[in-house]
Amino acid sequence: MPTIAEVIRNRHSTRGAFDCSRPITKPQLKAILAAAQWAPTPTNMQNFEIVIVDEAEQLEAIGKIPAQMSERFLRENYEQLSSSEAELRIKKTGMLASAFPKQWTDPEAWNPEADARSQLTFLGRSVLETPLLLVVVYDGNKRAPGSDGDPLGLMGLGCMMENMWLTAEELGIGMHVLTVFSDSPVEEDVKKTLHIPPHMKIAFACTLGYPAETSRGYVRVRRDIEDFIHHNRFGRRDILWKPVESEDVLITQVG
């Protein structure tokens, strides 16, 4: 069985179609939902509900909702992309451009009408090729105590997402988070389709399943620990990570 550290490191987004003939079992789904159940939330307010969507008719209805990428997203996304694995390994942040359709990686080639004709709408590509969709909602009229703008409540939702994601990874199930459901024109259409009350907001949605094709893998990068730690005051970097008997031990330089 993998350690929690291995599960965290191996967690990844599963892009592409899922195998709809291989459904997630009820025990597996229950395990993922139990992980959400025990996520930390501010003052234990547990301000979330989860809509499970697995009926073909509902998935098809959501998949037909117009959800083209905005020009703003494309231009800002373009700044985070690398054209080669070598470039990505040097930058240590962002993603490879090859992970996205060409129409989404070149701002100058952006054409929403052409994207629609080629069925590159975000929901159509993602929702119609999955056996299971989870839509996480929360009460927009509530907030965590003493948290203007509710950043603490949003942190709780993030913890719930991570718990579900790590559990899915441990079970060998692919997961892909769809942020387009949240705070966008798509949100109201999805809420109508799923009969979600008006006062509820969609935090995020995620597709779950087994990849239809064997993943070829992709380069995953992170900054080195030394690049983001600071010792006692910002900008001071006199902490080293030195492996000792297969364990990472913090050592402070003298002087």
The CATH number linked to 51 is 3.40.109.10
Q: What is the pLDDT of residue 76?
A: 83
CB 94 within 8 A of CB 82: yes
Nearest to 136 by CA among 178, 170, 168: 178
Same structural domain for residues 139 and 14? yes
First to last CA, the chain: 43
Same structural domain for residues 129 and 208? yes
57-66, 141-150, 168-177, 220-229, range with greatest mean pLDDT: 168-177
Contacts of 75 (CB under 8 A, 6+ apart): 107
Q: What is the mean pLDDT of residues 12-37?
A: 94
Q: What is the pLDDT of residue 112?
A: 58
Q: What is the pLDDT of residue 54?
A: 95
Distance, CA of 4 to CA of 23 (rounded, Å) = 25
Which letter, b or e, does each residue of 77-95 get, where b requires 16 or more Cβ atoms within 10 Å of its Cβ?
A: bbeebbeeeeebeeeeeeb
* Res. 4: pLDDT tops 80: yes
Least reliable range by pLDDT among 108-112, 140-144, 222-226: 108-112
Same structural domain for residues 30 and 145? yes
Cα-trace Rg, the chain: 20
| pTM as predicted | 0.84
Give residue-wise pLDDT tens across range 58-90.
999 999 888 766 677 777 888 888 989 999 999
Please report the sign of the dihedral spanned by the C-alpha atoms of residue 207, residue 213, residue 218, residue 220.
positive
Least reliable range by pLDDT among 28-42, 65-79, 130-144, 164-178: 65-79
Q: What is the pLDDT of residue 240?
A: 66
Same structural domain for residues 209 and 249? no
Residue found by looking up tokens 């705070």 in the block = 183
Least reliable range by pLDDT among 130-134, 183-187, 199-203, 226-230: 183-187
Same structural domain for residues 208 and 233? no
Same structural domain for residues 146 and 202? yes
